[in-house]
A and B are shown apart, each in its own frame.
Chain A
């Protein structure tokens, strides 16, 4: 579904059904260099199980128009305003990786827009390996390759895709290769310079966090530092799973998501 917002078309995947404004809205925010399709294993299910999912393509990502937003703060401002514009009331906000930082900031800065916060592959800081950042800046294929290599647990590097016939590693790499020039660098630089400060303490809504034991991009230790700041949080561990948990463990994530969405 294409929605006009701030003079640009914004693309939102709604799970293959028309957005039902009577159902609780769920806004899903993807990570660096990615797009709505990282939620492809969850959106259709949610749409047929009592929710109105909206998997967003951030500006300049996937099929959304618009200029890239250079910082997490600006991305959060944009997402907060997008939620207000949709006028669906407060949403259940689900974020992955960079999307988790955006979601955190939205919930902290615009508490009226977020009813629940669900974070995957989240951390209080996301320092980016300098060689990855450099490759991204030069728009080299090494950037998608390194991100893909680090974003998957060891099992996902061999097998185990529950969707028959799909190969996870190239799926991730192709998704990142499809990003327009400079998109990956923009996002990684935004992650790299993000400082969480006391953002966790400012969150008022309920928070759920999902962490993969083999996540090399936001390792369990880094997630734990973030989690310590929340006054109350539901933390779920996924054993043997990496950063791309929605793809690596779609069934588990779907069940956890359904619980967390309430």
Chain B
């Protein structure tokens, strides 16, 4: 059988989006540390401003270093285009603001990152966009929460912090039956573990800050445009299917069809909201993406070893990760995440809140930070940090018990990670 001779994932991680710099031959991606770009003449300048021809104008809108990362992430996800942003939250906001306006409605998983929950629950309503939160595993709940004003379904590929696996094909089907897209936050899976666009998702966002960067030294976000959703099939998405005065009456879906979202998110969203990624950050994040496949393999391997240890430790009352057979999404994970269900897990510590505090204060190798997806092992006690804004009721709904410890397994030698956890677990029980 003939096969498409596409470059493979590991190769794209290193090469996509970049060719040696034509002027200098630089093999590494140069940091184009510039705000602006010299125009050839007034005619070219006018053409650039009017989207008649492609090119860079000003680094808030596009930058050659950032563009390499954008093209690379689009390639890894199998999307038609990508727009990088200053942070993951900026990406989430950019996607929402590009497809929605006041009066619109979101149906979102209730088990999402605390920051994303805040934005939907508290901030967007000030701009007239309301959200209904649902249990991501309950397909009927998704369906029945959709109203005529709903414009997007949103969930994380792996929920936070219960590591619920999103049934992407099933939720995408519900969205499409209502003429709306599915957007997923794929931060915890990265394109190495799951390619949501191939499973039916329409927009993929990441906090590039996490596994994609991998080093925990630079913030960044991205939205990847799947390009399969037809924005002009109904009248729900006028920002994409109706003329826009911002560029002399351009209709993005008419001009760019399957790339309409990518084009509008940049031409309007980066231009006006301005949450652009800096070229230096793009450079740092690119160094991480080059080794994404290697790192993810090791993250998954170490996670398995750590889970085996935790499951036999007396101070641990439960371990939650989709690779564990008791996890409710174990089977789904095996079909949707054949390369592994990520490196973030949670476990319950015997002795509850106090024991949790002692554990966190006793780890030495693992770092206590409000982050995940670093090359280094990280721990946090969400009830007292990331999820502290949530009421006791919302905490329970979001699956965050007071005994819950979240662990982001790093790339250290797994025996060192385990020795550290064992020591801290012993200390936690000496109350």
* A positions within 8 Å CB-CB of B: 13, 15-17, 35-37, 40-41, 43-45, 48, 62-63, 129, 131-132, 142, 145-146, 148-149, 155, 157-167, 169-171, 173-175, 177-178, 250-251, 254
Contact = CB atoms under 8 A, between A and B. Distances in A.
A155 B71 CA distance: 13
A37 B257 contact: yes
B177 interface: no
Contacts of A148: 4
B249 to A, nearest CB: 6
Contact of A35 (B52, B66, B257): B257
Contacts of B257: 35-37, 40, 62, 175, 178
A170 to B, nearest CB: 5
A254 B48 CA distance: 14
B249 A165 contact: no
A63 B233 CA distance: 9
Interface residues of B, number: 55
A174 B15 contact: no
Given A142-B4, A170-B80, A175-B257, A158 B228 contact: no
17 contacts: A13-B255, A17-B248, A37-B259, A40-B256, A45-B53, A48-B50, A145-B6, A159-B15, A159-B19, A162-B54, A164-B62, A165-B266, A167-B82, A170-B78, A173-B78, A174-B80, A175-B257
Interface in B14-32: 15-19
Given A145-B4, A159-B16, A159-B17, A167 B256 contact: no
Contact of A169 (B6, B228, B256): B6
* Leading 10 A-B pairs by shortest Cβ distance: A174-B227, A37-B257, A164-B62, A167-B74, A149-B4, A163-B54, A145-B4, A165-B70, A164-B67, A166-B81
A167 B71 contact: yes
Contacts of B55: 162
Interface of B: 1-2, 4-7, 15-19, 47, 50-56, 61-64, 66-68, 70-71, 74-75, 78-84, 226-228, 230, 232, 247-251, 254-259, 262, 266
Contacts of B266: 164-165
B70 A175 contact: no
B19 A166 contact: no
Contacts of B249: 16-17
A171 B248 contact: no
B228 A174 contact: yes
A43 B81 contact: no
B248 A170 contact: no
Given A167-B17, A174-B228, A178-B258, 20 more contacts: A16-B255, A37-B257, A37-B259, A44-B52, A48-B50, A157-B6, A157-B7, A158-B19, A159-B16, A163-B54, A164-B62, A164-B63, A167-B71, A167-B75, A167-B80, A169-B75, A170-B80, A173-B78, A250-B54, A251-B53
Nearest to B14: A158
B218 to A, nearest CB: 19
Contact of B53 (A145, A160, A166, A254): A254
A16 B248 contact: yes
B132 to A, nearest CB: 30
A131 B2 contact: yes
A13 B5 contact: no
B71 A159 contact: yes
A155 B19 contact: yes
Contacts of A35: 257
B27 to A, nearest CB: 13
Nearest to B227: A174
A44 B53 CA distance: 8
A206 to B, nearest CB: 25
A250 B55 CA distance: 11
B112 to A, nearest CB: 25
A26 to B, nearest CB: 15
B19 A37 contact: no
Contacts of A162: 54-55
A183 to B, nearest CB: 14
Contacts of A40: 255-257, 259
Most chain B CB within a 10 A radius of its CB, from A146, A159, A170, A254: A170
A242 B49 CA distance: 28
Given A131-B2, A158-B15, A174-B228, A44 B80 contact: no
A174 B52 contact: no
A158 B259 CA distance: 19
A166 B80 contact: yes
B261 to A, nearest CB: 11
B110 to A, nearest CB: 31
Nearest to A176: B258
A109 to B, nearest CB: 30
Contacts of B64: 164
A224 B31 CA distance: 43
A161 B232 CA distance: 25
A165 B83 contact: yes
A56 to B, nearest CB: 13
B49 to A, nearest CB: 11
Contacts of B4: 142, 145-146, 148-149
A78 B18 CA distance: 43
Most chain B CB within a 10 A radius of its CB, from A159, A161, A167, A170: A167
